[in-house]
C-alpha cells in the first residue's frame, strides 16, 4: 500500500536487527520457523498503523517501533496457528510453517512468536501498563473472533446463529480490533489525549470492518487481474460471507431454498455454481447492499478523523490509507 | 503435597472467582476448554510456590494471588499444547483438551489460556514491569525446553547430542526455570532484596532439576503402589531419561551395544525388556549415580536456603517442601 510504504524499511530493519539477537539462535528447531514467518512479512499493515498514529500526534514515529513490532509480531503468531486450523498450505507466496516443518513445530513456534510479541513491550517504558492491557484485551478478542469464525462455519445456513449481526461481530473480533488496537497504541506513544486515543481505536475498528466487507465483495465481484487471486473462491468453498448472509436475509421462498442448496454442494462445476449463485446475489441486490455498508463504516471512520483537533495536513497520511483500503480493487 | 496444602483453598477460590468473570462466557467453544483445564488443577505447585515465597519474605501471601495465578495459568497453557504434541490422551485423570474436543480447539484455547495468564499481571501494580520480564523470559525458555525435548527424542542414541549436559539443559528449561520463576516472582512481591530474589530463583532451578531426575528414577526404580503409575513406562517407550544417558555414558563395548539395541526396539515383551534394561542399568550403577546427582542439586538448593538472612522458623515451609519433593516415592 502506497500510504504505508515509507514505514516499511524502518520496520524491516528493526525486525532484522531484533532477530539477530543471540537469544533467538538455539534451538534452531524452534527459532528458524519464527524467523521464517517474521522475515517474510507482507505489507506490515499493523506495524505501519502504529507508526502512522504516533506520527500523527507527535511527529516522532521511531520511538513507537518496539510497539509497532509487538503488534506486527502478535499478528504473525495468529497466522501460524490459524494456518494450522484452516489447513492452509501457502501464506504470502511461500509454504506455511506447518507445511514446511510440521504441526508440532508450528504450534510451538507460534507460541514462541506470541511471547516474542509480548517481549517487545519491555522496551516501551512508561507506556507498558497501558499497552500491556490493550494487547491482552485485543489478543483474547482475536481468539474469540477465530472461535466465532469456526462456530459460524460449522452452523447450517438456516441456523439463526448465522446472522448479519454475528458475522459483523466475528469480523470485528477476528480482524478489526487488532487494527483498532494498533491505531490506539500508536496514539498512546504519540501522547494523544484519552479522547483522541478512543477515537483512533474506533477509526481502526470501523475501517477494519469495512476492509473485511470489501474483501468479501472483491472475492465475488472483483477483477481477477487486479485482485490477484481467483474470483469466486468463497462461493466455491461455501464460505459464509457477508454477501451470502445478506442474500439469505433478502431472498424468500424458492430463491432462498435454491441458494441454500447451491451453497451446500461441492459437486457442481465451478463456473456453473458461480454464475448461479451470483444470479441470486444480483437478484438480492447484495453488491449494492455491501457497498452501502462499506460506505457507512468508512464515513463513520472519516467523521471521527475529522473530529480530531489537528491540522488537516497532518491527517493526510491516515485519510490516504483509509481511501486506499476501501477503494482498493485488490 | 502436604507442605503446599494450606494454599490450595485460596488458589482454588481465586481461580473460580476469576473464571466467573463474564469476559469468559462467550464464545463457549473457546472458554469451556479453558475452564476445563484451569479448574481441574492438580496440585497447584507453581501457584503455591509463588505464595510460599511471598509469605517467606513478607508474611502476607494473599497479595501475591494474581501473580500465583499467572504462573499457574501459564503452566496450564503449556500442558494443553504439550499434550497435543505428545498425543497424550489423559491428564490429571481426565481426557486431555484435544481428545475431549479436537486439536484446533486445543490450539486456540491454549493460546487463550496463555493470554489469560498474562492478564493476571494487570492486577500486580508496581511489580508489573519486573514480573512481566520474568514471565516473558521464562515462557520462551519453556518453549526452548520443549524443543530440546523434541530434538533429543528425535536423535539416535549414538548421536553426541544425546549427552548428560544436553539432558540437564533440556529439563532445566522445560521444567525447572518455571519453578525458579515462581519462587523469584513470590520474592519480588514479598519485597525481598535483589540478592534474595536471585537466590530464590536459583533454589527453584536446582530443586526443579532434582525433581525431574527423581521422576526419572521413580519411573524405573519406584514402587508402583506409591508412584501411582506403572513402573517401567519410560523403558517401554524408549524414552531418553537421565538413567539411560548415564548408563550409555558408563557402559562400554557389548553392554553398551546391547542397551542401544534394547532401547531401539518395540518388539520385546514388556517385562522381559524391563528386566534386561534394568540389569544393564544396575551394571552401570545408574541408580546410585542418579541419587547422588539428585542429592547434589538438593544440597546446593539447601545451602542457598541457609544463606537467606531470615529466622529458620520462617523457612520451615520451604525446606519441608524441598524435602517432600526430593524424598518422595510418588
**Interval A249-262: pLDDT, tens:** 999 999 999 999 99
Q: What pLDDT is recorded for position A223? A: 83
Give Cα A267 distance to the centre of its chain. 31
pLDDT digits (tens, 9 = 90+) for B24-62: 999 999 999 999 999 998 899 999 999 999 999 998 999
Burial profile A93-128: b = 16 or more Cβ within 10 angstroms, e = fewer: eeebbbbbbeebbbbbbbbbbbbbbbbbbeebeebb
Question: Does B151 contact A at CB distance below 8 Å?
Answer: yes
Question: Does A315 contact B at CB distance below 8 Å?
Answer: no
Whether B108 sits inside 8 A of A85 (CB atoms) is yes
Distances (CA, A) of A89 to A29, A41, A74, A100, B248: 20, 16, 20, 9, 42
Percent of chain A exceeding pLDDT 90 equals 87
Span B150-163, average pLDDT = 95
How many Cβ atoms sit within 10 Å of the Cβ of residue A197?
22
Percent of chain B exceeding pLDDT 90 equals 87
What CA dihedral angle connects B60, B65, B70 and B74, to 10 degrees? 100
Span A77-88, average pLDDT = 96
**Å from B130 to nearest chain A CA?**
9
A203 neighbors A301 (Cβ within 8 angstroms): yes
Q: How many CB pairs under 8 A join A and B?
A: 101
Maximum pairwise Cα distance, chain B = 64
Q: What is the DSSP letter of A102?
A: -
Locate cell 477515537: which residue?
A: A199
Asked whether residue A229 carries a pLDDT value surpassing 80, the answer given is: no
How does residue B330 score in pLDDT terms, banded at 50, 70 and 90?
low
Q: Which residues of B touch A151 (CB under 8 A)?
A: 27, 29
Q: Which of A118, A122, A128 to mutate to test the interface with B (most CBs of B within 10 A)?
A: A118
Span A144-154, average pLDDT = 96
Question: Does A127 contact B at CB distance below 8 Å?
Answer: no
Which ipTM was obtained for this model? 0.95
Which position has the higher pLDDT, A213 or A126? A213
Question: Does A147 contact B at CB distance below 8 Å?
Answer: yes
Span A138-158, average pLDDT = 96
Span A201-205, average pLDDT = 98
**Å from A278 to nearest chain B CA?**
32
CA nearest to B150 within chain A: A29
Question: Does B147 contact A at CB distance below 8 Å?
Answer: yes
Decide: helix, strand or coil at residue A94.
strand
Q: What pLDDT is recorded for position B229? A: 74
Asked whether residue B329 carries a pLDDT value surpassing 80, the answer given is: no
Asked whether residue B163 carries a pLDDT value surpassing 80, the answer given is: yes
Q: Which residues of A touch B108 (CB under 8 A)?
A: 81, 85, 143, 146-147, 150
Q: Which residues of B touch A110 (CB under 8 A)?
A: 111
Q: Which of A23, A85, A107, A109 to mutate to test the interface with B (most CBs of B within 10 A)?
A: A107
Q: Which residues of B touch A104 (CB under 8 A)?
A: 84-85, 150
Instruction: In whole angstroms, give the CA distance from residue B198 to residue A267.
Output: 65
**Å from A308 to nearest chain B CA?**
30
Q: What pLDDT is recorded for position B249? A: 96
What is the phi/psi pair of residue A44, to 5°? 55, 40
Q: What domains, with CATH codes, occur in chain A?
A: 1-192 (1.10.600.10), 193-330 (1.10.600.10)
What CA dihedral angle connects B79, B80, B81 and B83, to 10 degrees? 70
B182 neighbors B269 (Cβ within 8 angstroms): no
Locate cell 480490533: which residue?
A: A177
How many Cβ atoms sit within 10 Å of the Cβ of residue B301?
25
How does residue A173 score in pLDDT terms, banded at 50, 70 and 90?
very high
Question: Does A25 contact B at CB distance below 8 Å?
Answer: no
Give Cα A158 distance to the centre of its chain. 27
Whether A27 sits inside 8 A of B144 (CB atoms) is yes
Instruction: In whole angstroms, give the CA distance from residue B223 to residue B218.
Output: 7
Whether A115 sits inside 8 A of B136 (CB atoms) is yes
Instruction: In whole angstroms, give the CA distance from residue A109 to residue A139.
Output: 17
pLDDT digits (tens, 9 = 90+) for B251-262: 999 999 999 999
Span A168-185, average pLDDT = 98
Instruction: In whole angstroms, give the CA distance from residue B7 to residue B9.
Output: 6
Q: What pLDDT is recorded for position A330? A: 64
Q: Which residues of A touch B26 (CB under 8 A)?
A: 144
B146 neighbors B78 (Cβ within 8 angstroms): yes
What is the phi/psi pair of residue B94, to 5°? -130, 165
Pinpoint the alpha helices (H) of chain A.
8-19, 28-39, 45-58, 65-85, 97-100, 103-120, 128-154, 164-171, 177-189, 194-221, 224-227, 233-236, 242-250, 253-262, 270-283, 286-307, 316-327
Return the C-alpha cell found at B305. Answer: 536456603
CA nearest to B114 within chain A: A111
How does residue B221 score in pLDDT terms, banded at 50, 70 and 90?
very high
How does residue A122 score in pLDDT terms, banded at 50, 70 and 90?
confident
Average pLDDT, chain A: 94
Contacts of A143 (CB under 8 A, 6+ apart): B30, B108, B109, B111, B112, B115
Locate cell 472483491: which residue?
A: A218
Question: Does B76 contact A at CB distance below 8 Å?
Answer: no
Amino acid at each position: 500500500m502506497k500510504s504505508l510504504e515509507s514505514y516499511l524499511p524502518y520496520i524491516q530493519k528493526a525486525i532484522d536487527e531484533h532477530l539477530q539477537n543471540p537469544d533467538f539462535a538455539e534451538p534452531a528447531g524452534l527459532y528458524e520457523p519464527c524467523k521464517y514467518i517474521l522475515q517474510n512479512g507482507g505489507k506490515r499493515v499493523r506495524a505501519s498503523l502504529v507508526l502512522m498514529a504516533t506520527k500523527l500526534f507527535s511527529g516522532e514515529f521511531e520511538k513507537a517501533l518496539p510497539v509497532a513490532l509487538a503488534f506486527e509480531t502478535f499478528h504473525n503468531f495468529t497466522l501460524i496457528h490459524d494456518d494450522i486450523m484452516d489447513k492452509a498450505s501457502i501464506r504470502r507466496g511461500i509454504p506455511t510453517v506447518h507445511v514446511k516443518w510440521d504441526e508440532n513445530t508450528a504450534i510451538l513456534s507460534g507460541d514462541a512468536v506470541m511471547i516474542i510479541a509480548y517481549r517487545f513491550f519491555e522496551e516501551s517504558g512508561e507506556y507498558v501498563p497501558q499497552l500491556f492491557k490493550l494487547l491482552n484485551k485485543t489478543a483474547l478478542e482475536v481468539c474469540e473472533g477465530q472461535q466465532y469464525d469456526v462456530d459460524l462455519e460449522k452452523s447450517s445456513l438456516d441456523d439463526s446463529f448465522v446472522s448479519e449481526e454475528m458475522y459483523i461481530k466475528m469480523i470485528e473480533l477476528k480482524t478489526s480490533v487488532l487494527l483498532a488496537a494498533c491505531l490506539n497504541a500508536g496514539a498512546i506513544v504519540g501522547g494523544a489525549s484519552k479522547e483522541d486515543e478512543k477515537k483512533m481505536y474506533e477509526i481502526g475498528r470501523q475501517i477494519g470492518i469495512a476492509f473485511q466487507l470489501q474483501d468479501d465483495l472483491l472475492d465475488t465481484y472483483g477483477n481477477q487481474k487486479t485482485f490477484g487471486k481467483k474470483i469466486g473462491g468463497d462461493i466455491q468453498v461455501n464460505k459464509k460471507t457477508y454477501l451470502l448472509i445478506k442474500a439469505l436475509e433478502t431472498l424468500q421462498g424458492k430463491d432462498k431454498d435454491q441458494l441454500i442448496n447451491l451453497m451446500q454442494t461441492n459437486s457442481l462445476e465451478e463456473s456453473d455454481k458461480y454464475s448461479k449463485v451470483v444470479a441470486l446475489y444480483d437478484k438480492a441486490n447484495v453488491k449494492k447492499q455491501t457497498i452501502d455498508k462499506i460506505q457507512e463504516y468508512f464515513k463513520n471512520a472519516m467523521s471521527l478523523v475529522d473530529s480530531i483537533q489537528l491540522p488537516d495536513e497532518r491527517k493526510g497520511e491516515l485519510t490516504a490509507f483509509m481511501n486506499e483500503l476501501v477503494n482498493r480493487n485488490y
